[in-house]
Structure 1
């Protein structure tokens, strides 16, 4: 057990920090553990690698990634921005609030934070810079708004979590909706307060006819998240089927309605989405060996007993788990962290009465906050790169938005009924 703990909890993160691809780090440490223990045949490796991706729900991942890319080249992201501007573009710091609002809508289609900051921030960050918001603040707003991506359904990390436990991804998606709306609303309020304090510009209020025109022109884009989430929530189709529908709908709208997709562009995004999906699939495949080692060597029981020896209270255990996940989120990609830590932490929180549904949402929420923190914060790095800003200043500008995330995290941890009431009600 000590060997397993060392390789998986110490050696593997070190290899990742040193620059080894996550899938390779998982595979190398799992192989080293097997060789050191000598209690399992090595032919288990190809079997478990295949089992790690032989899952129908996991098929949703490449399709949702592709749907997000198609939205960008099909002009759907621009229509979402136009609608957001028509609704909230007249308040102080309008562009910052529009960025958050559009990110929430885009998140309800792509399920990816990186795709959200690229598609929405790629447009609004230069616009905010032109209006004098400051490069670092513009990058911080876009990076923070994109955090909604993996929280508001559909969420790729939640698909990974659900597939790891064999539980209903529909329930996870429904349970994450309210926390996702909470953090999106909180980020919008923070952007407004800061913008008003710094006297950032606002746009003129659009006339009713102009607002209706913007909504009418963007109606096809606005229907996309409604079709995806509505179908999932009411059991019309599974998340995997919804991901295929999202791709088909995005291609149709981009080709025949907005007419911004060309076959050349479509081929390029298919290749790009295939590469991104392959990275995640390799992580899932390699992580299956890790999960088997965790179970076979009773690592989860050891971690559970160690933490319960420190504190047996529900509050104390959940506080320690949240702090641990926040640290992990700073150092590791969310999907990799989910597959490694799920078999270890789920039995622990079960001891204090927290079910896998609410913990899955809390876990993903925790890890997504890591997208705003160096050194691995993907949305922070991408937003800063788009703005060409100073990383130190951008990190400082994200602090108020990160604080909003911590407040929402504390609320949903203290009151997990916020997560569970909607899935139970719809059933």
Structure 2
């Protein structure tokens, strides 16, 4: 996630035009209100489907179809919100290190690159919506254009939002240079079109290695980096109609299982708002606070319990760090060690259900969500135990003579208070495994559970925060789903080129068979996780590598755990892992402070990962 400011060092040209600010504010309020309303409607539609089917044995045949239509609209409107607010995921390692003047120019260039793709795909999206007009949906019996129209509508609104943001945040000089460079690059590639076709598969390197790599390095949002490279490859080196790319974007963004993304994001916000996360942490602290390194163990345990629900590791950390860190610092803990451990737990808990990463990998790789939910629990315990060992080594000399042991009665009381919160992840998992609800629908059970717990048990429910939470949900959903759509189109282009077949042949013939394949996968996903973040890496390479894993005899769930942890280690390891800097931002600790301490935790995670890879039972032992 982009954690750095976007504004130019110079004042934006929009400062002289108040009407543009009013237009920008109107666009923001309108799109945010509509997106928030769709989130609410989605919750009620899916919840009604669960109640109707399970309680009354009368399934609503139209609920999934309506939810799917609304979901694509939510994804596109959320992408508009994320673009307007600068919340699309991008790599900011270079952008953060240059001067303010250069940073402003790079930020303007990133916006211009996104604008270039949106302008290029715009009329193809309109054509796609017109084509879909002839299709009638089976349950609601309405034209599919109602659904497909979300694509050109969202693209149009993103173009407007990007232009307004350019004017709002950047000087004329930055705008002219950025738009000029973007236009020049597009014209250059179109001019070279006839020269590129004879290159054959070398074009994969031109567009998907150099093109994606260069744009990601410059801070172009990952979704637009993928999309631009895919559009350029298909348009300039193949005869594929661009309607096919729009179709792949649609396919990637509208898979019904991914509807779990916004609902779990909202559920995570509810858990924090209702005090459930705080109750869990208080119980663990009362249980272990008097032990050497006790609060570090609490941090590991709290991340295990809270993680995976919000859809954002930053949100998980934000729920825990402010509660624990002040007391840990008061006991003499080093700031750098706190940051390092917080970052390491982010990687350790990537497989805790109902993780958005698990849902995504199940969707794109065709793996059972219920199996992933079951298989993800024990591997995270193994990596957590490895982290606990490092904590034990580092805290052996800690002086806790002034820290009293909490009386057993208080521990029991804290446990009873925390029990409803602790049970939530298990309720969610049980509902999926026992068939009460699908992985998409189960989030509505969690939402209802959290609302009741907040109102009745914890008496902590701030109604004023609901609307901002709904908007944040839409924004994060749009950012995630636009990446998934772009990566789906990119993976399809790679498949059509024959790359997946060639990759399969190479990977299947690696020395060492399954073990060699796992070793190469670990190295590859550590690197990918540090560069692309988790979901883009999973969506892009999951469909390519999972069939190969099956071919060499690696269980789907086992392989999922291995690649997710490898990706997580890359994501949270400095100097490139953006998750590490997210942990620093949440904890308000200088990133440099953690570099001295992070090595031991990363080694522990790698040891845990090797154990998970070497012992498939850890991932598959509890599968039915």
The two structures have a TM-score, normalised by structure 2, of 0.65
What SS class does the counterpart of residue 378 from structure 2 fall into?
helix
Task: Establish whether residue 412 from structure 1 lines up as the match of residue 412 from structure 2.
Answer: no
Structure-2 change in CA distance of 1:376 and 1:254 (3 Å): farther
What pairs up with 1:150-189 in 2 under 5 angstroms? 150-189=350-389
Q: How far off is 1:113 after superposition?
A: 2.2
1:133 deviates by: 0.3
**Distance (whole Å) between structure 2 residues aligned to residue 367 and residue 276 of structure 1:** 20
Q: In the aligned structure 2, how far is the partner of 1:364 from the partner of 1:246? A: 24
Conserved? CA contact 1:67–1:247, under 8 Å: yes
Pairing partner for 2:424 from 194, 218, 224: 224
Q: How far apart, in 2, do the equivalents of 1:26 and 1:49 lie?
A: 11
- Among 539, 558, 563, the residue aligned to 1:339: 539
What's the CA shift string for 1:37-80, capped at 9, x where partnerless?
22311111221111112222101111111111111121111101
Superposed CA RMSD: 2.1
Distance, in Å, in 2 between the alignment partners of 1:393 and 1:63 is 36
What is the rounded CA distance, in whole Å, between the counterparts of 1:317 and 1:402 in structure 2? 22
- Residue-pair matches, total: 424
Q: How big is the shift at 1:94?
A: 1.7
The structural deviation recorded for 1:308 is 5.3
Question: Residue 11 of structure 1 aligns to a residue in which SS?
Answer: helix
Structure 1 match to 2:577 = 377
C-alpha change, 1:355 and 1:3, in structure 2 (3 Å) is farther
Matched, 1:117 2:321: no
1:212-249 per-position Cα deviation (integer Å, ceiling 9, x unaligned): 11112222212212211222233332222221211222
More displaced, 2-11 or 70-79?
2-11
Equivalent residue, structure 2, for 1:284: 484
What is the CA distance between 1:131 and its match in structure 2?
Answer: 2.2
Unaligned runs of 5+ in 1: none
Give, in angstroms, the shift of residue 181 of structure 1: 1.6
Q: Structure 1 residues 133 and 291, CA, compared in 2 at 3 Å: closer, same or farther?
A: same
CA contact (8 A) 1:178 1:419 kept: yes
Aligned residue among 280, 290, 307 for 1:80: 280
The verdict on how the C-alpha distance between 1:152 and 1:29 changes in structure 2, with shifts beyond 3 A counting, is same
2:401 matched to 1:215?
Answer: no
- Report the alpha carbon displacement of residue 335 of structure 1 after superposing the two structures with TM: 0.2
Among 543, 550, 574, the alignment partner of 1:350 is 550
Structure 1 residues 393 and 54: CA distance shift in structure 2, 3 A: same
Deviation readout 1:130-182 (Å, 9 max, x if unpaired): 32201111112222223344211111112111111233111111111110121
2:470 match: 270
- The C-alpha deviation readout for 1:308-354, integer Å capped at 9, x for no partner, is 56635333332122111111111111000001111232233334221
- Specify the alignment match of 1:16 in structure 2: 216
Bigger mean CA deviation after superposition, 188-197 or 37-46: 188-197
Q: Does 1:25 align with 2:225?
A: yes
CA distance in 1, matches of 2:213, 2:443: 32
For residue 199 of structure 1, report the CA deviation from its aligned partner: 4.6
Report the CA distance between 1:202 and its aligned residue. Answer: 7.8
- How far the C-alpha of 1:20 sits from its partner, in A, is 0.7
Which residue number in structure 1 is paired with residue 95 of structure 2?
Answer: none
C-alpha change, 1:153 and 1:297, in structure 2 (3 Å) is same
Q: Unaligned stretches of 5+ in structure 2?
A: 1-200
Q: Distance in 1 between matches of 2:268 and 2:346?
A: 13
Q: Give the number of the structure with larger relative contact order, counting CA–CA contacts within 8 Å between residues 6 or more apart.
A: 1
Rounded to whole Å, the distance in 2 between the matches of 1:49 and 1:381 is 30
Change (3 A) 1:234 1:205: farther
Contact 1:151 1:368 in 2 (8 A): no
Q: What is the TM-score of this pair, normalised by structure 1?
A: 0.93
Q: Where does residue 397 of structure 1 map in the other structure?
A: 597
In structure 1, what is the equivalent of residue 262 of structure 2? 62
Tell me the alpha carbon deviations over residues 342-376 of structure 1, each in whole angstroms, 9 at most, x when there is no partner: 12322333342213322122111111112321345
State the distance in 2 between where 1:313 and 1:45 align: 35
- Asked if the contact 1:93/1:195 (under 8 Å) is kept, the reply is yes
Which stretch shows the higher mean deviation, 359-368 or 300-309? 300-309
Distance 1:335 1:236 in 2: 27
Separation (CA, whole Å) in 2 of partners of 1:303 and 1:265: 48
Please point out which of 292, 299, 311 is paired with 2:511.
Answer: 311
**Higher mean C-alpha deviation, range 176-185 or range 277-286:** 176-185
1:255 paired residue among 455, 458, 465:
455
CA–CA separation in structure 1 for the residues paired with 2:286 and 2:398: 23
| Aligned-partner Cα distance in 1 for 2:521–2:447 | 37
Cα 1:357/1:316, change in 2 over 3 Å: same
User: CA offsets, 1:252-284, max 9 Å, x none?
Assistant: 222332222221112111111211111001111
Matched, 1:127 2:332: no
* CA separation of 1:21 and 1:154: change in aligned 2, threshold 3 A: same
Check whether the contact 2:314–2:586 (CA below 8 A) recurs between aligned residues: no
Q: Deviations over 1:15-47 (max 9, x none)?
A: 222201111111101101102222311111221
Tell whether 2:430 aligns with 1:233.
no
Of the structure 1 ranges 50-59 and 366-375, higher mean CA displacement relative to structure 2 is found in 366-375
Asked whether the 8 Å contact 1:113–1:148 carries over to 2, the reply is no
SS of 1:422's equivalent? coil
